[in-house]
Amino acid sequence: MNNKYTELLDFDREHLWHPYTSMAKPLPSYLVESAQGVEIKLASGETLIDGMSSWWSVLHGYNHPVLNQALLTQAQEFSHIMFGGLTHQPAIDLGKKLIDLTPNTLDKVFFSDSGSVAVEVALKMALQYWQSKGQADKHRIMTVKNGYHGDTFAAMSVCDPVTGMHQIFEKVLMKSIFAPAPRIFINETWHDDELIELEALFKKHHHETAAFIIEPIVQGTGGMRFYHPNYLKAVRQLCDQYRVLFIADEIATGLGRTGKLFACEWADISPDIMCLGKTLTGGYLTLAATLCTAEIAQTISEGEASCFMHGPTYMANPLACAVANASIDLLIKQDWQGKIKKIEQQFQQELIPLKQFDKVANTRVLGSIGVVETTHAVNVAIIQKRFVELGVWIRPFGKLIYIMPPLVINNSQISQLVCAIKAVLSEDACFID
């Protein structure tokens, strides 16, 4: 690596704060020179197979010509315009697409900047809805343990109370109601005992509960856990029975990752509010959407404030909407289910057998998501370095080594990802005793 790159990395280490990283003892960062398809080229010369889709956002691979053109075409018209009092075709087209694709009760769309903000918007919608109905006592949120919904304040308040950020910020967070995490996995036999504690919480707290929020089928950062669809069905029924709004956080699962276009489809249910993000623009720009029913939108609009109290500066950014439209069209016009099924089958053949290793507690696969749960926590700095040496980009956390590659990945590239995981499982230095 030449002096220019060394200087860049030195500045980065000294001045740029990376996610979940100490400035006192920062984890190493690797300088990217370019990216194409599923390959990331580092300035130091290595080419890495991307197993992370840049935190689950890159759907069609990097530097895709169709998505590139969508950005260029829109940029020649206008790159941004305020959404207050003005509108534009990219936002209108995207709204139409999302209404057509999502469950049929969702027909109002609120655009925002990121997934975490989409959750904030959803929670504010629920709270303002009950306020507008004259039931301000319904001001708490119910959720499940092991969940993750983002890093902003309201979103933090519904993340797992132990593995989340409650210990640091508990004095200023909303006091949410936590049900036990779903225990029955998607491929296990269902039994109704799973619902005893959940039903008791609804019965006890429904009078003060505005909404129940959950990641459908896949609990992501809270443990990469794939739970049974009957749990979602039960939540929908309980929300109806006790007059609680149901929020589905599809930020990680939306647009095909689980093998269904939306994970709610596993249970054939429709939420009252749905959050989308991450993959929405194919990994190009930050954009999110919160969809709700007409009844929620009408109630809020007829309430005391006469409007919904939120409005980001970059709401419905035209560049982001344009590339989101192109990304969704790319997905829908291809055999996306066949591609995900092919990835899933190869994961089942190659990744599932890694459960034979002593350091592996469990392996599991759903759609284009593959997970190796280890018995010991990973040493992030060491295991990351080893993955780079093995020609892959995989970023584990805790006891989870997982992959969720772009849909354009081929068989040999998947095999390289799995072989790299297999290699580190035999190396004690990659794990913390």
Query: Would you write out the chain's pLDDT as a tens digit for each of its 433 residues?
Result: 578 889 999 999 999 999 888 889 898 999 999 999 999 999 999 999 999 999 999 999 999 999 999 999 999 999 999 999 999 999 999 999 999 999 989 999 999 999 999 999 999 999 999 999 999 999 999 999 999 999 888 988 898 888 766 678 878 888 999 999 999 999 999 999 999 999 999 999 999 999 999 999 999 988 899 999 999 999 999 999 999 999 999 999 999 999 999 999 999 999 999 999 999 999 999 999 999 999 999 999 998 888 898 999 999 999 999 999 999 999 999 999 999 999 999 999 999 999 999 999 999 999 999 999 999 999 999 999 999 999 999 999 999 999 999 999 999 999 999 999 999 999 999 999 8
The DSSP element (H or E) to which 229 belongs, if any, is: helix 229-242
Residue where a domain terminates, one of 310, 333, 356? 333
* 172 lies in the same domain as 45: no
CATH number at residue 190: 3.40.640.10
Q: Within a 13 Å sphere around the CA of 37, how many CA atoms are in the beta-carbon half?
A: 8
Reduced to 3 states, what is the DSSP secondary structure of residue 261? Answer: coil
Same domain, 209 and 97: yes
SS3 249: strand
Question: In the structure encoding, which two tokens stand for residue 417, read together?
Answer: 């990802």
Q: Which of 50, 113, 160, 249 is catalytic?
A: 249
Is residue 278 part of the annotated active site? The answer reads yes
Q: Which domain holds residue 203?
A: 69-333
- Report CA-CA distances (Å) from 421 to 26, 35, 79: 24, 22, 41
Residue among 227, 221, 269, 223 nearest 248 (CA):
269
| Residue 424, burial from CB neighbour count under 10 angstroms (0-12, 13-18, 19+) | buried
Residue 350 in 3-state DSSP?
helix
Length of the chain: 433
The catalytic residue among 20, 171, 335, 433 is: 20
Amino acid at 6: T
Burial 147-178 (b: 16+ CB within 10 A, else e): bbbbbeebbbbbbbbebbbbeeeeeebeebbb
Q: Are residues 57 and 113 in the same domain?
A: no
Q: Among 333, 349, 372, which residue terminates a domain? A: 333
Secondary structure (DSSP) of 294-326: HHHHHHHHTSTTSS-S---TTTT-HHHHHHHHH
Please provide the distance, in angstroms rounded to a whole number, between the alpha carbons at the two ends of the chain: 34
Phi-psi region of 150 (alpha: psi -120 to 50; beta: other; left: phi over 0): left
In the residue annotation, 5 being an active-site residue is answered as no
Same domain, 166 and 306: yes
pLDDT for 163 equals 74
Smallest CA-to-CA distance from 331 within 257, 268, 273, 249 is with 257
Residues 246 and 301 in one domain: yes
Domain of 413, CATH number, reads: 3.90.1150.10
Residue 178, phi-psi category: left (phi > 0), alpha (psi -120 to 50), beta (remainder):
beta
Pair (36, 46) in one structural domain = yes
Both 323 and 177 in a single domain?
A: yes
Catalytic option among 108, 138, 260, 278: 278
249 among known catalytic residues: yes
211 shares its domain with 323: yes
Q: What local confidence, expressed as pLDDT, does residue 309 receive?
A: 86
Say yes or no: 226 and 158 in one domain. yes
**Domain end call among 333, 361, 384:** 333
**3-state SS class at 129:** helix
- Has 148 been annotated as catalytic? yes
Helix (H) or strand (E) holding 401, with range, is: strand 400-403
Dihedral of the alpha carbons of 132, 133, 139, 143, in degrees to the nearest 10: -110
- Stated as kind and residue range, the H or E segment containing 332 is helix 318-333
Cβ-contact 297, 314 below 8 angstroms: no
Residues 264 and 339 in one domain: no
Asked if 158 and 213 touch (Cβ cutoff 8 Å), the reply is yes
Q: What is the pLDDT of residue 109?
A: 98
Same domain membership, residue 44 and residue 76: no
Do residues 142 and 223 both lie within one domain?
Answer: yes
Count up the domains in the chain and report the number. 2
State residue 141's pLDDT score: 97
Phi/psi at 202 (nearest 5 deg)?
-60, -45
3-state secondary structure 411-427: HHHHHHHHHHHHHHCCC
- Which one of the listed residues 62, 148, 231, 284 is annotated catalytic? 148
Gap between the Cα atoms of 233 and 89, Å rounded? 36
| 371 in Cβ contact with 186 (< 8 Å) | no
